[in-house]
Every structure is written in structure tokens, then in C-alpha cells.
Amino acid sequence: MLEALASTSKSAQVGARSPRNTPPKQSAFFRLPPELRLKIYEYALAIPNEYTDRPLIVVNDRGNSFTSRGRFRALSMCPSWVGQDGTARNLLSVNRQIHDEAEDFLYSRHTLFFLNSFDLSRLGAFLDTLSETARSRIRSVGFEICFFVHSQTGVPKRLLKDYERAGRLLMEKLPQWSSVFFYLDPRFYYPSASVGGRELSARGVLYLATVFGAMKKDLHFFPLPSIHRHVMDEAQRLLRRGSRSSQGGPSL
């Protein structure tokens, strides 16, 4: 697949060196209908994930590999697309037309999904590493939610308030962002755990639903236990009243 696309780039270069009165020969790939080219991109960029059947760009952060000082803050991250074998990067580098078509397909049809190991305080620096056109094409963002996890090695403890700050930053950086996907990790979701007569997990879902619902985003929680589906109705009632959750910032 990539070999054929690479030959497209080579033929374009050869055509550029041909005499001016000889029009460059168009690659057979570009003579394919756009719908078929999109199918090829879909096949080339398909990467299975363990969370859902929707296409995800699963972003991990392997920690502080570089300095985090001053203007080099973005280099403090070592982000990676989990499961990606270099195909996307190779595809984007073939030539300008393939780059534009593949970039549009990749970012407009995939959910940019941040694992719990990703430090949300670095979200802005990470988004700045993406091109302006890539950011303008992102429509869906997701988060792995691990309730009752205090911390991971090298990863700061997440607060519910961190998600609200992340949401506001996403609204600033991603002009086409319209939906948010929350993956509720079943290993760290305990429906029966409660304080003050209220389930902690349900309270967390309610907080996220009201915060991101107030941002006018389409919400998707998966897998949401049936005993907590009423929380979504409660969030809708709060939003209709124009009310925001007044809870503090309990840690996840």
C-alpha cells in the first residue's frame, strides 16, 4: 500500500523535471474516485484499540524524557499514538495532496483519546505540537476515566476540576470540536462506593456531564452501568435550569 503511494511521490518529482511543454503524468492513485481513496486511507490508518469500536488516536505520555522548562515545555512530553506503527506518519509525508486528504480523514473521523497516564496540565503544550490545520479538523476528543486511582508513577493525581480546565482549553484550541467520549474504566469504577449517601462514581459522571454539557458538546459515556443511567437525566435537568455543579474538586 505505502509502496504504491511512494511511487506516486516519485512520479510527481519526475514530472517536475520533464520539459515545460510536457504535462506531468498523473498517478493512477489520483485518478481513483475520492470515495475510493478515502477507503484506502481508512484501511491504512485502521488501528484496533481495547476501549471501543470507534476509531481512536490513543495518546499516551511516557513521561519526562526532556526538559520541561520555559519555552521547551512541550519537549517534556514523550507522547505516543498507542499501536501506531509509523504508517500514518509515512502516509502524511508522501506528497502534499495525500497529506491533506489523509490528515483531514485522520483528524476529522478519529477521536483524539487521552489515556489516564496523560498529564492534563500538558494538554495545551501537546495541542500546540499539532499543525493548525490538524487542530481545525478535530471534532471528537475522549478521556480514559479511572475513578479511585490516586496516582500513577510520574503522573499527577487528576482532579475533576482538571477536566473542566481541559475542556475550556480544548474549546480555545479546537474550533470544530463538537463531541466528547468518556471511557469509564471498569477496573476503577465502583458503583456501590458512597459518601454521604451518594455514589462517588455517579457523582463523577454527573460532574462531567454537567460541565461538558454546558459547553454544548455531545456526550458519550462508555460503558455506563445501568444503575447510573439516571445520572444523565439528572444532568439534563441541571442544564435546563442553567445550573452548574457546585461540587469542589474531589480526586479521581
DSSP for 17-39, please give it.
HS-TTSPPPPPTGGGS-HHHHHH
Is the per-residue pLDDT at 6 higher than 80? no
Average pLDDT over residues 134-143: 97
Partnered with residue 180 across adjacent β-strands are: 141, 219
**Cα 10 to Cα 94: distance, rounded to the nearest angstrom:** 9
Q: Is residue 104 part of a domain?
A: yes
Confidence of residue 88 (pLDDT cuts 50, 70, 90): confident
Q: Give, as one character, the DSSP assignment of residue 157.
A: P
* Cβ-proximal residues to 237 (8 Å cutoff; 6+ apart), any chain: none
- Number of compact structural domains in the chain: 1
**pTM over cut 0.85:** no
In a domain, 202, yes or no: yes
Establish if 249 belongs to a structural domain. Answer: no
Residue 128 belongs to some domain of the structure = yes
Give the separation between CA 11 and CA 33, rounded to whole angstroms: 19
Within a domain: 18: no
Tell me: pLDDT of 121 over 50: yes
Q: Point out the least confidently predicted range of 17-26, 85-94, 161-170, 218-227.
A: 17-26
Q: Report yes or no: 88 and 45 within 8 Å, Cβ to Cβ.
A: yes
Going 169 to 173 to 179 to 183, the CA torsion angle's sign is: negative
Q: What is the pLDDT of residue 183?
A: 96
- The helix (run of H) or strand (run of E) holding residue 195 is strand 194-195
Is 103 among the domain residues?
A: yes
Between 88-102, 187-201, 213-227, the lowest mean confidence (pLDDT) is in: 187-201
Instruction: Give the CB-side neighbour count of residue 241, counting CA atoms within 13 A.
Output: 9
- Contact criterion met (CB below 8 Å) for 112 and 79: no
Structural domain span for residue 138: 2-9+27-64+72-240
- Domain-located, residue 15: no
Highest mean pLDDT among 13-22, 95-104, 196-205, 225-234: 95-104
Any domain includes 20: no
What is the rounded distance in angstroms from the CA atom of residue 238 to the CA atom of residue 66? 44
